[in-house]
Amino acid sequence: MAEERRGSLALAIVEALRPRHWIKNVFVLAPLVFAERLTDPRAAVVALSAFAVFCALASSVYLWNDVADIHRDRLHPRKRYRAIASGRLPVAAAVALATILGAGALAAAFALSRPFAGVCLAYLVLNLAYSLGLKSVVILDVMIVATGFLLRAAGGALVLGVEMSHWLALCPGLLALFLGFVKRRQEIAGLEGPAGQRPILLEYSIPFLDQMISVVTASTVLAYALYALSPEVERKLGTRHLWITIPFVLFGIFRYLYLVHQKGEGESPTELLTADPLLVLNVGLWAASVLVAVYAWP
C-alpha cells in the first residue's frame, strides 16, 4: 500500500511538472542554429544545458500557478483533475518542489553565465507576477506569455555569447501572441458555464479576439517573410535560400487556423502542435529546410 501511494505521488509530481510543455523551451536553442554554432560540440552542450534550466524554471512556474489557482481549478470541469487541484499532490509538497526547482535552476544558470542567469531571474519574476495578479490584466496577460518566449530566445543567445538579432525577437514574439490569442479564443468558445471561469475571460469576446488574431497572423507572416528575404540576414548567415522555409510557415499557420475554426481545437497549443500529424510533419520539414538553407546551401 505504501509503495502504491509513493507511485501515485510520483505520477502526480510528473503530471504537475507538465513535461509535455517543455517543448516551448526549444526557443532557447534557436540562437544555436541561427548563429551557425550547431556543429560546435561545446556550444551545443551549453545550449542544451540552458534548455534544461528553462525546463526546470517552467515547471516551477507551473507549480506556483496551480497552487495560486487551486480553488478556481477545483470548480473547473477539466482542471479539477489536475494533480494539485485534485489533492493527489499536497500543496505543501508542491510549494517545496517549486522552490527547489526555481532555486536549483537559478544556481545552474549562474554557473553557465551571469547574463543568462539575469534573463532566467527576469523570466521567473515575470511569471510569478503573472500568477499573482498580472494574468487578470486584459491583453497584458497574453503579452506577458509572449515575453516569456522572447526571454527564452534571449537567454539562448546570451549563454552562447552571440548577438541576438532583432528578427529573433520579432518573429517568435509575434508567433507567441498568435498562439496566446487563439488560446484565449478557444477557452471562451469551450466554456460550458460559469464554474471555474477565470475573471480575465470576461474581458474578452470571440469577435474581439478574432480581430486580434487577424492582425497578429498577418504581422507574423509578413515579419517572417521579410526576415527570410532580408539582405541583412543573407549577409549574416551567408545564404540566399532561407526563402525555402516560407511555405512551411504559411502552411503551419493556416493549418493551425483550420483546426481552430473548423475543428474547434487550440485551447492547448502544446497539445495541438504535438498531436496533429500534419503540423508535426510540417514543423519537421521547416526545421530541415532551415538546416539545408543555413548549413548546406550557401
pLDDT tens-digit series, residues 74-98: 887 788 899 999 999 999 999 999 9
Contacts of 79 (CB under 8 A, 6+ apart): 69, 72, 73, 85, 196
- Mean pLDDT, to the nearest integer, of 24-47? 93
In a shared domain, residues 203 and 264: yes
Tell which wins on pLDDT, 5 or 178.
178
Question: Of 160, 177, 200, which closes a domain?
Answer: 160
What's the CA gap between 16 and 100, in Å, rounded? 14
- Mean pLDDT, to the nearest integer, of 29-45? 92
pLDDT tens digits, residue range 147-158? Answer: 999 999 999 999
Contacts of 80 (CB under 8 A, 6+ apart): 73, 74, 86, 196
In a shared domain, residues 152 and 15: yes
User: What DSSP character marks residue 85?
Assistant: T
In a shared domain, residues 145 and 172: no
pLDDT at 195: 45
Instruction: Give residue 105's Cα distance to chain centre.
Output: 17
8 Å CB contact between 297 and 239: yes
In a shared domain, residues 148 and 177: no
Does residue 298 surpass a pLDDT of 80? no
pLDDT at 77: 78
Average pLDDT score, the chain = 90
8 Å CB contact between 24 and 151: no
pLDDT at 79: 83
The residue segments making up the domain with residue 117 are 1-160
Binned at pLDDT 50, 70 and 90, residue 5 comes out as low
Does residue 47 surpass a pLDDT of 80? yes
In a shared domain, residues 219 and 131: no
- Grid cell at residue 235: 549577409
- Mean pLDDT, to the nearest integer, of 54-79? 89
pLDDT tens digits, residue range 130-174? Answer: 888 888 899 999 999 999 999 999 999 999 999 888 888 899 999
8 Å CB contact between 61 and 18: no
In a shared domain, residues 109 and 251: no
What's the CA gap between 61 and 24, in Å, rounded? 14
- Mean pLDDT, to the nearest integer, of 88-111? 95
Does residue 3 surpass a pLDDT of 70? no
Question: Of 101, 127, 160, which closes a domain?
Answer: 160
In a shared domain, residues 94 and 185: no
In a shared domain, residues 136 and 184: no
In a shared domain, residues 10 and 155: yes
What's the CA gap between 1 and 7, in Å, rounded? 10
Percent composition of the chain: helix, strand, coil (DSSP 3-state, to 5)? 80, 0, 20
Contacts of 10 (CB under 8 A, 6+ apart): none
Tell which wins on pLDDT, 120 or 165.
120
pLDDT tens digits, residue range 220-267? Answer: 999 999 999 999 888 888 888 999 999 999 999 999 999 999 998 888
What's the CA gap between 168 and 232, in Å, rounded? 13
- Mean pLDDT, to the nearest integer, of 16-29? 93
How many domains in the chain?
A: 2
Whether the model clears a pTM of 0.75, i.e. scores above it, the answer is yes
Question: Of 108, 127, 160, which closes a domain?
Answer: 160
Provide the CATH number for the domain around residue 54.
Answer: 1.10.357.140
In a shared domain, residues 63 and 144: yes
In a shared domain, residues 71 and 98: yes
In a shared domain, residues 93 and 53: yes
pLDDT at 96: 96
